Structure 1
Amino acid sequence: MNIAVPFKQVDVFTTSFFKGNPVAVINFMDSEEEVPSTLLQSIANWTNLSETTFLFKPSDPKNDYRLRIFTPNEELPFAGHPTIGSCRAFLEFTGRKDASQINQECKLGVVRISVTNEKIAFEAVKADIDAIPEALVHGLEKCISTTFKTTPKVLHVGPEWVVGLVEDSQTCFNLNPDFSLLGDMSGKFGITGLVIAGKKPDSSGYEMRAFAPSQGVNEDPVCGSGCLAFVRYLQDLYQTSSTTTFDITQGGRLQREGKLSATIEHGKDKISYHVGGQALTIINGMINI
């Protein structure tokens, strides 16, 4: 193509540099050239981050941008921390100030994003929940060498996360999963991976971890879609009747300090699920393509 396009690397779900989950964001919104998917996949493979995203002009002018999300190996319909980081990059690329709501197109659908001061939050497009076979429950308990405190279920939020609670936050933090076995179980049962959380003592907050070895990510440092799956799971578990927000930390075992905010919002006609946090731009530049 022989063009130079704007590039950012954004640290997501953190208030401290180098303590969140990075995403590379490349801006094709001003390019008139066709960009083949093979090139996008090659770039994502080269950056070697868990996700690399690409901003394009929206197909519907009512929306703000179209986002394509790639791991080093494949394209995703949706992912959480790339959504937050890409929105931060979009605001900086465009100099937008009137950004109380952003509409992001992606393969899963249109994601509604709210921007309040430094916090960016997205609303779930999809948050369905199903039971899982007993064989999967027992297999996952073998993977983590402990029993679940609550019955785990599979959450369909774009990725397919199995979610369950363990005894408490320290139990969650101390887990040392068998990643090889978990990868085999994930492939056999068609799941993305496993989200585990434990409640913090004397607090409404939780410690959370997300494991996806079948996707090439043994442990995700700070996982937005996993958090979305978790908050939907909490609604199924506790059947809240009013708007409730949970503070969630993640990444301590990987020397990160992920901070997420998850909300179950009770509206007039529906319950919606929101995940948010801050994002800091680490790298600004251009990439030659």
Structure 2
Amino acid sequence: MRNVPFRQVDVFSATPFKGNPLAVIAEADGLDDAMMQAIANWTNLSETTFLQRPSDATADYRVRIFTPHRELPFAGHPTLGSCHVWLGLGGRPKSEHVVQECGAGLVRIKRDGARLAFAAPPQRRSGEVAPDLLARIAQALGITTDAIVRAQWVDNGPGWVAVMLRSRSELLGLRFDATALQGNQPLGVVAPCDKARDGTDADFEVRGFMWSGGEDPVTGSLNASLAQWLIGAGIAPSRYVAAQGTALGRAGRVHVAKDGETIWIGGDVTTCVSGTITV
């Protein structure tokens, strides 16, 4: 048994306890899959990450990302939170950007002023949503299919499918029933904000629903794939801010910026708990 650094951080909010929490365990080389899964189950957060030495010579560190039940190849808020902890523990990137190795490959991360931002990974699936799935999505959201303005597969690892509604008020009024989706299907919902009417600093409001029936406070992977869809289709400008977590009493803000062919997904990270864990 040994003591290794442990941090719990809040991602996508400059205000503690208003973003999405993440547990990060550093110096995790030597932990087997069963131990990492057990720790993630114990923390009971949406994700727990484990920092290890990279196997790719071009990467700065390797991260393993676990939910309480399974490992993920990539997730957004764990990417920013893990990088924040790695830098805070004295990590120094080998090149201009931090390069994270994970199950989805290599992910670039940069400092964007006080924030960190990751390069949106390529989508594994895009394109139209089949009518039968769209009907089940509408049923799960308690709306008619006519209320869905657009729909798109936006899967960059976790399996996201997304729909757009007409207004922020419609989105915030949703009551999600996961049983209608008949499977392990995470669902993203986005709507444009009218800043004069809605009184928000954001351009879009987002909600992310999980197959278990829960709702994610702020979701980096979803916002990354939404940005690729919305900017690519000309629905969103090349720079915008997405709000998420409002329905849960959070105040997440995701800062999106397209630079050349790269879409960067940025946010603030705040350390809330600092100590060690015995493993």
Do both share a fold (TM > 0.5)?
yes
1:141-200 deviation digits (Å, cap 9, x = unpaired): 111122444331111211111111101111111111113323x2x43xxx3x11111111
Q: Deviating runs (4+, > 6 A) in structure 1?
A: none
TM-aligned CA deviation for residue 114 of structure 1: 0.7
Corresponding residue for residue 247 of structure 1:
241
Unaligned runs of 5+ in 2: 197-201
Corresponding residue for residue 288 of structure 1:
278
Output the CA distance in 2 between the equivalents of 1:174 and 1:99.
45
Do the aligned residues in 1 keep the contact of 2:231 with 2:238 (CA within 8 Å)? no
Residue 197, structure 1, aligned to residue 190, structure 2: yes
Secondary structure in 1 matching 2:84: helix
Amino acid of the structure 1 residue aligned with 2:264: H
After the TM superposition, which residues 1-289 of structure 1 pair with which residues of structure 2 at under 5 Å, given as runs?
A: 2-28=1-27, 34-94=30-90, 96=92, 101-127=97-123, 128-146=125-143, 147=145, 148-182=147-181, 184=182, 186-187=183-184, 191=185, 193-202=186-195, 205-212=203-210, 214=211, 216=212, 218-238=214-234, 244-265=238-259, 267=260, 271-289=261-279
TM-aligned CA deviation for residue 115 of structure 1: 1.0
Change (3 A) 1:262 1:80: same
Output the CA distance in 1 between the equivalents of 2:103 and 2:264.
19
Output the CA distance in 1 between the equivalents of 2:95 and 2:149.
39
Secondary structure in 1 matching 2:109: strand
Secondary structure in 2 matching 1:256: coil
Amino acid of the structure 2 residue aligned with 1:67: V
Secondary structure in 1 matching 2:17: coil
1:234-259 deviation digits (Å, cap 9, x = unpaired): 1343277xx71110111011111101
TM-aligned CA deviation for residue 233 of structure 1: 1.7
Unaligned runs of 5+ in 1: none
Output the CA distance in 2 between the equivalents of 1:239 and 1:247.
13
Do the aligned residues in 2 keep the contact of 1:100 with 1:115 (CA within 8 Å)? no
Secondary structure in 2 matching 1:6: strand
Do the aligned residues in 1 keep the contact of 2:141 with 2:175 (CA within 8 Å)? yes
Amino acid of the structure 2 residue aligned with 1:6: P
Output the CA distance in 1 between the equivalents of 2:59 and 2:91.
17
Secondary structure in 2 matching 1:238: coil
- RMSD of aligned Cα (Å): 2.0
The count of aligned residue pairs is 271
Secondary structure in 2 matching 1:73: coil
Amino acid of the structure 2 residue aligned with 1:45: N
TM-score of the two chains, using structure 2 as the length reference: 0.91
% identical aligned pairs = 36
TM-aligned CA deviation for residue 81 of structure 1: 0.4
Do the aligned residues in 1 keep the contact of 2:60 with 2:93 (CA within 8 Å)? no
Secondary structure in 2 matching 1:104: strand
Secondary structure in 2 matching 1:39: helix
Output the CA distance in 1 between the equivalents of 2:258 and 2:276.
39
Secondary structure in 2 matching 1:62: coil
Output the CA distance in 1 between the equivalents of 2:141 and 2:250.
21
Amino acid of the structure 2 residue aligned with 1:55: L
Secondary structure in 2 matching 1:68: strand
Output the CA distance in 1 between the equivalents of 2:100 and 2:159.
21
Output the CA distance in 1 between the equivalents of 2:13 and 2:101.
24
Do the aligned residues in 1 keep the contact of 2:107 with 2:121 (CA within 8 Å)? yes
Change (3 A) 1:99 1:169: farther
